[in-house]
Amino acid sequence: MTIERMSQRLATPRSLIEARLAAPERLGELEAVAGRYAIAVTPALAELVKLGDPADPIARQFVPDARELVRDPAESDDPIGDDAMSPINGLVHRYPDRVLIKLVAACAVYCRFCFRRERVGPGSGALSAADFAAALDYVRARPRVWEVILTGGDPLILSPRRIAEATKALAAIPHVKVLRWHTRLPVAAPERVTKAMARALIADGTTTVVAIHANHPRELTEPARAACMRLWAAGAMLVSQSVLLKGVNDDVETLADLMRAFVEARVKPYYLHHLDRAPGTAHWWVPIAKGQELLRALRGRLSGLATPTYVLDIPGGRGKVPIGPQWLAGDGNGGYVATDPCGTEHLYVDRPGEES
């Protein structure tokens, strides 16, 4: 089987080998990983893999690795504490003004570092009608909920009809003003992001935000950019989400190219996530100190328009916090020292009548 002739996802170890995304001698290793975690690579992503290069940043994200079965003591089945913050099935309420609803527990493609990898996969299905109705009742009863985040899995694998039903039901709640959809689909299967799907995300009286996940600039192909354009043309605001991953984007040139590619696709760089401690993901770990230095270097290369916020989701459901480099520090005398993008320090006095 050649990549050019594939019409279906690669969802078994043998199909990955037949497509030459993995060497034949790796069959046993791949089957061992597949026995634990879901596998799927879409044709759009398979075409991006540099065949024969196991260090290829696209292959590293989607082709299974035996190290996924090695569990670090710090890793958790629920690394960001969804369960602790789930008052009802399928809904997470971590912050006062927003809730997260997991519409579906399957994806078009399975990232090997996924923080919900213990809960997603083929056959997991969608949130039941009864559970979605309960989620609607929960939101209706809490006027402080201003934003609803739709996630999974990947909610855009649902049909436009089902997406429109969810959009309409949530938009009918007067205090819900923002609907935010988290997805990989514009990158993983851009042909599925149709005009009908884009329209299904939009409702009068609410702002629709689509958070698009990509980690390497090669993922933002022309078809992916066209999919983003269809979402933007329908009226959605587009923001990005990326994960800092060793061997994928842990250098300043790749990150700068990725953020510029987002902006060119009308996607505002939003979050660069520190890796969540999901089982079997330690080989992608980048130290926070290195992440901070990368963000410092990015600030010297990119405008604020193209610079994401580096964030940590504190384990145990404690919330997301910025962990980027610090540009301002106290000088010990009531003033401040500001560091410019070139690394030079400058005294700044924050009092009327005194010059810095």
CA distance 155 to 208: 14
pLDDT score of 356 more than 70: no
Question: Is 342 known to be catalytic?
Answer: no
Question: Is 320 known to be catalytic?
Answer: yes
**Mean pLDDT on 48-52:** 92
Residues whose CB is less than 8 angstroms from the CB of residue 210 and which lie 6 or more positions away in sequence, other chains included: 180, 181, 183, 186, 201, 231, 236, 237, 238, 239
- Catalytic residue (one of 114, 180, 184, 225): 114
Question: Is 98 known to be catalytic?
Answer: yes
Cβ–Cβ < 8 Å for 178, 218: no
Question: Is 111 known to be catalytic?
Answer: yes
On the question of a cis peptide bond just before residue 324, with omega within 30 degrees of 0, the verdict is no
Does residue 269 sit in the same domain as residue 168?
A: yes
Last residue of a domain, one of 11, 30, 52: 52
Question: Is 180 known to be catalytic?
Answer: no
Max intra-chain CA distance, the chain? 74
Residues whose CB is less than 8 angstroms from the CB of residue 172 and which lie 6 or more positions away in sequence, other chains included: none
pLDDT score of 123 more than 80: no
Angle at 219 between CA 248 and CA 187, to 5 degrees: 125
- Catalytic residue (one of 65, 111, 117, 154): 111
Does residue 93 sit in the same domain as residue 186?
A: yes
Question: What is the per-residue pLDDT for 1?
Answer: 23
CA distance 337 to 197: 50
**Mean pLDDT on 187-210:** 98
Q: Is there a domain that residue 65 lies in?
A: no
Question: Is 260 known to be catalytic?
Answer: no
Q: Is there a domain that residue 67 lies in?
A: no
**Mean pLDDT on 159-164:** 97
pTM for this model (two decimals): 0.94
pLDDT in tens, 36-48: 999 999 999 999 9
Domain span at residue 22 reads 3-52
- Catalytic residue (one of 98, 112, 184, 230): 98
Does residue 111 sit in the same domain as residue 200?
A: yes
Question: Is 228 known to be catalytic?
Answer: no
Percentage of the chain modeled with pLDDT above 90: 89
Does residue 333 sit in the same domain as residue 246?
A: no
Does residue 316 sit in the same domain as residue 345?
A: no
- Catalytic residue (one of 9, 228, 276, 296): 276
Q: Is there a domain that residue 205 lies in?
A: yes
Question: Is 94 known to be catalytic?
Answer: yes
Least confident piece of the model among 52-56, 232-236, 280-284: 52-56
Per-residue confidence band for 342, with pLDDT thresholds at 50, 70 and 90: confident
- Catalytic residue (one of 9, 26, 60, 116): 116
pLDDT in tens, 64-118: 999 999 999 999 999 999 999 999 999 999 999 999 999 999 999 999 999 999 9
CA distance 37 to 60: 15
Question: Is 142 known to be catalytic?
Answer: no
pLDDT score of 180 more than 50: yes
Residues whose CB is less than 8 angstroms from the CB of residue 288 and which lie 6 or more positions away in sequence, other chains included: 274, 312, 323
Does residue 309 sit in the same domain as residue 349?
A: no
Does residue 335 sit in the same domain as residue 273?
A: no
